[in-house]
Amino acid sequence: MSSSTFSLASKVKLYNGHMIPQIQLGLYMMSGKEVLASVPWALAAGYRGFDSAQMYHNEAEAGQAIRKWLESSETRRARTSRGRTSGIRRSSPVPGSTSYDAVRKSIKRSVKACGLGYIDLFLLHSPYGGPEARLTSWKAIEDAIDDGEVRSGGVSNYGIEELMASNPRIKPAVNQIEVHPFNTQTAIRETCAKHGILVEAYGPLARAMRMKDPTILELAKKYACTPAQLMVRWSLQHGHVPLPKSARKERLIDNVKVGGFEISDEDVQRMDGLDEHLVTDWDPTDAD
Ligand SMILES: NC(=O)c1ccc[n+]([C@@H]2O[C@H](COP(=O)([O-])OP(=O)(O)OC[C@H]3O[C@@H](n4cnc5c(N)ncnc54)[C@H](OP(=O)(O)O)[C@@H]3O)[C@@H](O)[C@H]2O)c1
């Protein structure tokens, strides 16, 4: 278990050497208007990573808010000597595995929509479509990396073994799956660890469905934190990249104040024991 102090400045290294922020704001179920408000609040609070998707219909607003922030005089001072931006990471998944051409087009659409020139991490959002679609879709990600549209590639809701067995030219850097104490996904996490693939944890707050769980409340009291902070910290101590979502200013700031306490190994295991395979969104294990 980690004894690290975590903050919005914490970063984690992907196998390909790229660093990504270890806590990122999820943008699912946010309207464009909410994104235009939330992303600037988050940037001001110190967030440097955002998770959007084509199917969230808010990539353009996310890009717009990030661009505006980058153009502000304060941020201009923070640019590196190479003129690169100061470390904001945007990740964006395409809707699913379809075909090589559809994925290439889809990536170009997202890059254009966000207006940021490239996307740091691009994920295939779903494993549906069958083995051939999955493997040719992955080739499209590899070529988009070669062409500079995308810095790193990854998948979401994948079991991973099939893709790794195909011996991909470029390995996925990330698998984004639902993980929280009520759905610990041990098997997929172990497979990812075996291949050096980072787990991004979606639904890290269990979609607020278990905020009143007695163990969560007991441990939140013990560590003098909120249930949301406890769950974010659990995710970080497992080495994940949690993507907690909130469209409310006070929550998106408060949820990630997780540097002031550390969950003991024993209590992490207690939280692991809460697993009930709670699926808050969809189940990746049922793809053909
Ligand atoms: N790849 C995929 O298939 C996939 C699927 C699902 C999600 N994701 C990504 O992962 C991110 C996070 O997942 P998620 O949005 O499903 O779930 P989540 O982050 O676990 O929970 C979000 C929910 O919790 C509420 N909430 C936040 N802070 C709270 C607090 N302190 N107290 C009470 N309620 C609180 C939010 O409402 P308010 O906004 O009103 O605060 C929202 O309803 C998404 O936004 C998305 O970026 C990816």
- C-alpha of residue 73 to centroid of ligand 1, in Å: 32
pLDDT at 108: 92
Tell whether ligand 1 has an atom less than 6 A from the beta carbon of residue 159.
Answer: no
**Ligand 1 mean position, distance from CA 100 (Å):** 31
Does the beta carbon of 125 sit less than 6 angstroms from any atom of ligand 1? yes
- Residue 255, pLDDT score: 98
| CA-based nearest residue to 146, from 171, 170, 174 | 170
Q: What's the CA-to-centroid distance between 107 and ligand 1, angstroms?
A: 24
Query: Do 155 and 124 form a contact (C-beta atoms < 8 A)?
Result: yes
CB of 248 within 6 A of ligand 1: the answer is yes
**Positions of E strands within 179-278:** 198-202, 241-242
Q: How far is the CA of 244 from the centre of ligand 1 (A)?
A: 5
Q: What is the mean pLDDT of each run of 10 residues along the chain (288 residues)?
A: 78 96 96 97 96 91 93 58 44 65 91 88 88 92 96 92 95 96 97 97 98 98 98 98 98 98 98 97 68
List the residue whose alpha carbon is closest to atom 25 of ligand 1. 208
Catalytic one among 125, 180, 238, 240? Answer: 125
Instruction: State residue 126's pLDDT score.
Output: 86
The question of whether 56 is a catalytic residue gets the answer yes
Q: Is 47 a catalytic residue?
A: no
Give me 228's structure tokens: 């949301």
Sign of CA dihedral 207, 210, 215, 220: positive
Q: What local confidence, expressed as pLDDT, does residue 247 receive?
A: 98
Reduced to 3 states (helix: H, G, I; strand: E, B; else coil), residue 88 is coil
What pLDDT sits at residue 74?
59
28 lines ligand 1 (CB under 6 A): yes
Whole-number pLDDT of residue 288: 65
> What is the Cα–Cα distance from 66 to 75, expressed in whole angstroms?
11
CATH architecture observed for domain 11-205+240-247: Alpha-Beta Barrel (3.20)
Domain range annotation of the chain: 11-205+240-247
Rounded Cα gap, residues 199 and 188, in angstroms:
9
Q: What is the pLDDT of residue 75?
A: 52
